[in-house]
């Protein structure tokens, strides 16, 4: 089969024929129809992000496709089913604290690297092998619609954060990083989950205005000045009442002071979700006042990805039309032009923009 292969960091993907995946027990083979390209894939492939990758590798985190072959433990899946391939692969021998690898992207710790050695190849290929539990049925869609369904992979990240925080209908949320690709998805997901209001801080007034245009007055934009104290007060004033939950998804390039200003808007007994990249590229880490956390009974959730059943729940939100995939503007490339797709994603990674590869 044809695949795009990363053979060494800092070199382009090589498009070549590789052996087709072989089905094992507890696995499913999927014909990949569409797969998203992360806006920072170029930084992963250059080595700038220091992601753990066992090279050579067929990259690509998850995708949309049709079931080609199933093992004996699959009782609901059928050949030809449209499915979402969840890239979050978990070890099966520790239900309390499983090791995790992101198939086709990275791994955490020695256990995650062990997982990656088996489930290392991702979706930049005509076929991929996926753990049975990571294959989520979509119902009937068309080949044209498959590209837009790739947005599940982006929306699942903030959805996992809000699930961890126990977001309830009627609450007020602040999304730190609302003008980015994952942050704008967080705005949409929070509203779909019933948030009464989403405070959306940022420096790009055009993007902030577009969020209000898309979602209406439940979005309260805040133009950041760069002054930590002033920005914190502006964000508080923008909310109709106390802020119940702060969600941070800022990239590694952002100063910790910007993140801290947002976090410290949360009310007493409120919750904070950290899913961003502060400190991942070196430099200062996030410093929060111990007395403020303790005396205000603030709960801080560090969240990497989402629980195993999150994709099924999110698909249900889309099917109920509470979450709209047609917000996304999609640009598609074929597999032969995977390197061009990587460049395009890096240059066009804004809110509700998505680059996909169609193997």
Per CATH, 2-151+328-358 and 156-302 having the same topology is answered: no
Give the sign of the dihedral formed by CA 298, CA 304, CA 308, CA 311. Answer: positive
Cβ–Cβ contacts within 10 Å for residue 263, how many? 25
- Strand ranges, E, within 55-160: 63-70, 82-85, 88-90, 100-102, 106-107, 127-131, 135-137
Instruction: For Cα atoms 52, 58, 61, give the angle at the middle one, nearest 5 degrees.
Output: 70
Structure tokens at 101: 């690898």
Structure tokens at 311: 């994709």
pLDDT at residue number 285:
83
Contact yes or no for 186/351 (Cβ under 8 A): no
Class of CATH domain 2-151+328-358: alpha beta
pLDDT at residue number 277:
87
Cis status of the peptide bond prior to 153, with omega within 30 of 0: no
Kindly give the residue spans of alpha helices, DSSP state H, lying in the chain. 41-46, 109-118, 143-149, 152-165, 181-192, 205-215, 228-238, 256-263, 290-295, 310-319, 338-347
Give the sign of the dihedral formed by CA 30, CA 31, CA 33, CA 39. Answer: positive
- Spell out a b/e string for 213-245, using b for 16 or more CB atoms within 10 Å of the CB, else e: ebbeebbbbbebeeebeebbebbbebbeeebbb
Structure tokens at 254: 């952002």
Is 0.75 surpassed by the pTM of this model?
Answer: yes
Domain ranges in the chain are 2-151+328-358, 156-302
Instruction: Say how far apart CA 357 and CA 341 lie, in whole Å.
Output: 7
Instruction: Say how far apart CA 159 and CA 275 lie, in whole Å.
Output: 11
Strand-strand pairing, 243-248 and 172-176? parallel
Is the CATH code 3.40.50.800 the one for domain 156-302? no
Averaged over successive runs of 10 residues, the pLDDT of the chain (359 residues) comes to 97 97 96 97 93 94 97 95 98 94 94 93 98 97 97 98 98 97 97 98 96 98 96 98 97 91 98 91 85 98 96 97 96 98 95 97
């Amino acid at each position: 089969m044809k695949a795009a292969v990363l053979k060494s960091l800092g070199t382009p993907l090589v498009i070549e024929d590789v052996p087709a995946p072989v089905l094992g027990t507890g696995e499913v083979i999927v014909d990949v129809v569409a797969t998203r390209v992360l806006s920072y894939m170029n930084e992963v492939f250059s080595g700038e992000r220091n992601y753990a990758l066992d090279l050579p590798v067929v990259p690509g985190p998850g995708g949309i496709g049709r079931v080609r072959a199933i093992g004996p433990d699959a009782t609901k899946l059928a050949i030809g089913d449209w499915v979402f391939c969840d890239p979050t692969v978990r070890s099966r021998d520790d239900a309390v604290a499983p090791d995790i690898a992101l198939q086709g992207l990275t791994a955490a710790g020695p256990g995650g690297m062990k997982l990656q050695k088996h489930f290392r190849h991702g979706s930049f290929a005509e076929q991929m092998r996926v753990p049975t539990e990571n294959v989520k049925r979509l119902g009937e869609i068309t080949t044209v619609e498959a590209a837009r369904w790739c947005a599940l992979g982006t929306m699942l990240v903030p959805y996992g954060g809000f699930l961890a925080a126990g977001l309830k209908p009627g609450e007020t949320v602040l999304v730190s990083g609302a003008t980015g690709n994952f942050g704008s998805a967080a705005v949409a997901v929070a509203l779909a989950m019933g948030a009464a209001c989403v405070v959306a801080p940022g420096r790009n007034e055009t993007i902030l205005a577009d969020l209000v245009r898309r979602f209406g007055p439940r979005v309260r934009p805040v133009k950041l000045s760069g002054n930590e104290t002033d920005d914190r007060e502006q964000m508080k004033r923008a909310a109709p009442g106390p802020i119940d939950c702060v969600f941070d998804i800022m990239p590694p390039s952002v100063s910790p002071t910007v993140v801290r200003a947002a976090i410290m808007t949360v009310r007493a007994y409120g919750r904070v979700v950290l899913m961003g990249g502060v400190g991942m590229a070196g430099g200062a880490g996030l410093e929060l006042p111990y007395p403020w956390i303790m005396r205000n009974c603030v709960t801080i959730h560090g969240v990497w990805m989402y629980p195993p059943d999150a994709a099924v729940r999110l698909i249900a939100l889309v099917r109920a039309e509470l979450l709209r995939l047609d917000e996304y503007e999609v640009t598609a490339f074929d597999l032969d032009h995977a390197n061009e797709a990587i460049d395009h994603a890096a240059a066009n990674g804004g809110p509700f923009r998505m680059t996909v590869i169609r193997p």
